[in-house]
Structure 1
Amino acid sequence: MKVSVIIPVYNEEKYLAGCLESLKKQTVVKDMEVIVVDDGSTDGSKALATLHQGHQGPGAARNLGAKNARGEILVFADADMEFDPDFIEKLIAPILVGKTIGTFSKEEYLLNKDNVWARYWNLNLGRQDNLMVPRDHPDTAPVFRAILAAKFIEVGGFDTTVGYTDDWSLSRKLGVKSVAAPGAKFYHRNPETLAEVWRQSRWFGKNEFLTKNLVRRIYNLFRYCPVWAIFKIYDPRFLLFKVVYNSAVVTSVLLSFFGETKSK
């Protein structure tokens, strides 16, 4: 089966080349196409893109890529990821044998582990040993890293109205979860500067589970209030990380009251 790898990009010029280079080394490269969808970038990302759109968020960019894909299997990657050479081969293996319509990988590792802010991001989420997925994660998940194109098209792709959790919307539409693909190993960057922590946390704050209704919004304003971090954390740099992270999330939750766009 032909595979289409779809990569949404928004101002990720400094990471995209590494991602594309690792995809060139895939064992299934002869049966694979790569579609880079520019989501309104203002940096050099757009020069490497296959398709272009105004800034609408990664879900809309993935949907555009899927519309133009020729593959029977869609693989969704991010510009700040890199992959082992047999990643896609192992990722799609359960689909090829008819075990499932889609897969994800539990073997996701921190790519920039030497960066202190990247490590703090993992620590903040309770992740250890450079793993991006908990060791005890079940063998199913609401996120699809690979899926049969026909099934994706059948439900109209990702829901672009839900913000940060747009990649969970596919599972909800299909009524099934993805299945773990053993041995599909890849590496993912966390934010490397406080400015990147702020931007990514603002995106996280557009999570539908934080802003779905008035009660949740008010609860999460208190839950992520940066003041609480002062009483819990004794590492000065991690305290600074938490203040930036929580402030960004609170900003997104507050702006949701005024109908802020869900795009990244």
Structure 2
Amino acid sequence: MSREKGISVIIPCYNDGRFITEAVESVYGQKTDIPFEVLIIDDGSTDKKTHEITQSLAAEHSDTLRLIRHKRNKGLPTARNTGLKHAKYPYIFPLDSDDKLSCDPEMTKSGGYLGRAVDVLEENSDVVYAYPGTHLFGAVECKYVFKLPYDEETLLYIHNVGPYVVYRRDEALEIGGYTDRMRYAEDWDFNIAMINGRHKQGRPAEVRQFKEPYILYRRREDGTNMTSAPALNNRQVMQYLIKRSPEIYQKYCPGENDGEILDHALRKHYEVRAKSSAAFALHCVFNPIASFRDGSIALGIHTARRKLHKLWAEHVTDDSPQGQGVQAEPQTHDIV
């Protein structure tokens, strides 16, 4: 198959017909001249409506959209791996069926997220992947970006990047793609493994951060986002992360054996997570109109806003004077 410059957008879907049209159309709403394709991976959906909608999308965009069905549900990691296997282009962007790319003119100019991310990877082989800022919508509405520049060590303790990285297909296949042993935090594990793969080869593993909220991340009323899943306990998750990427954990976590490395990583996880959660909560407090739709709630927290202003200001991005960005992460990607 062709390996010309281009990007494959992989959209796993399980009984998510009510949202997937928005996800797909958001890809086609991007203003980019980079060739792209969309792969919908129907992961064993049992909902008739989902079958009808995905079939209709495949017919409507027959030149650039492929529909691949699993006979039974295999889970999000396996669905993404199916997309990796069948992808036509050298760059990959995973998009959940209930989320979408922003089609705001300010977000789509200069090629949007897909175009800018591919350009970065084309121009700099030291960059392992790029990731965007996020706008929460649905049950919760607010914008945020990560305050601090990407930090390799912090990624080992908390998922401060998110699932929507653009990366090279060949590198993803080289590390074995997404693990099917974890139905939770599999994207965190993948992001660490991509960096660890380069460390093992003695290659740079830079990560490029875009602060623009290119991704619209849906918060459902029932809390069941596609990337939500019953959580393993902290120790189980961290044990697996270390097992798959031992070299990079050994670099940052002092210890003479696996147990000491694990204990160090868990201590750091709780420290970093507490700070991140507090920053995100403060952001919601100081942006009440964006976070709450009931004006009385916004009015009621006015006093708290004044008292907490000093603490809040320490977490707001320097380039976001209206308080639209803090160091935070989608909670569904935390380990709890």
Q: Which amino acid aligns with 1:103?
A: A
Q: Which amino acid aligns with 1:163?
A: R
| Residues 13 and 45, structure 1, Cα contact 8 Å, conserved in 2 | yes
SS at match of 2:185: helix
* 1:138-149 superposed matches below 5 A: 138=150, 143=162, 145-149=165-169
CA distance in 2, matches of 1:184, 1:31: 23
| Residues 164 and 204, structure 1, Cα contact 8 Å, conserved in 2 | yes
2:80 pairs with 1:62: yes
Gap change, CA 1:200 and 1:83, over 3 Å in 2: closer
SS at match of 1:5: strand
Q: Which amino acid aligns with 1:46?
A: H
2:187 pairs with 1:167: yes
Q: Which amino acid aligns with 1:57?
A: G
1:130, distance to aligned residue in structure 2 (A): 3.5
TM-score (structure 1 length as normaliser): 0.65
Q: Which residue does the alignment assign to 1:14?
A: 18
Q: Which amino acid aligns with 2:134?
A: E
Question: Which residue among 130, 137, 143 is the counterpart of 1:130?
Answer: 143
| Residues 149 and 209, structure 2, Cα contact 8 Å, conserved in 1 | no
Gap change, CA 1:87 and 1:200, over 3 Å in 2: closer
Gap change, CA 1:34 and 1:200, over 3 Å in 2: closer
Q: Which residue does the alignment assign to 2:93?
A: 75
2:62 pairs with 1:36: no
Of the structure 1 ranges 82-91 and 51-60, higher mean CA displacement relative to structure 2 is found in 82-91
| Residues 91 and 182, structure 1, Cα contact 8 Å, conserved in 2 | no
1:42, distance to aligned residue in structure 2 (A): 1.9
Question: Which residue among 124, 127, 139 is the counterpart of 1:100?
Answer: 127
Number of residue pairs aligned between Structure 1 and Structure 2? 201
Which of the two has higher C-alpha Rg? 2
Of the structure 1 ranges 66-75 and 163-172, higher mean CA displacement relative to structure 2 is found in 163-172
Gap change, CA 1:64 and 1:51, over 3 Å in 2: same
Q: Which residue does the alignment assign to 2:31?
A: 27
Q: Which amino acid aligns with 1:189?
A: R
TM-score (structure 2 length as normaliser): 0.52
Q: Which residue does the alignment assign to 1:45?
A: 50
1:143, distance to aligned residue in structure 2 (A): 4.8
Gap change, CA 1:36 and 1:94, over 3 Å in 2: same
CA distance in 2, matches of 1:28, 1:80: 22
Q: Which amino acid aligns with 2:183?
A: G
| Residues 88 and 184, structure 1, Cα contact 8 Å, conserved in 2 | no
Q: Which amino acid aligns with 1:7?
A: I
* 1:180-259 superposed matches below 5 A: 180-183=209-212, 185-193=214-222, 196=224, 203-206=229-232, 209=235
CA distance in 2, matches of 1:208, 1:34: 35
Gap change, CA 1:65 and 1:90, over 3 Å in 2: same
SS at match of 1:56: coil
Gap change, CA 1:209 and 1:11, over 3 Å in 2: farther
CA RMSD in angstroms comes to: 3.3
Unpaired runs of 5+ residues, structure 2, are 56-66, 103-107, 156-160, 199-204, 240-261, 263-331
1:30, distance to aligned residue in structure 2 (A): 5.7
Q: Which amino acid aligns with 1:130?
A: K
Cα offsets for 1:166-212 (capped at 9, x unmatched) = 11222333316643135461211012236x38x976x1414665566
Gap change, CA 1:30 and 1:212, over 3 Å in 2: closer
CA distance in 2, matches of 1:208, 1:17: 35
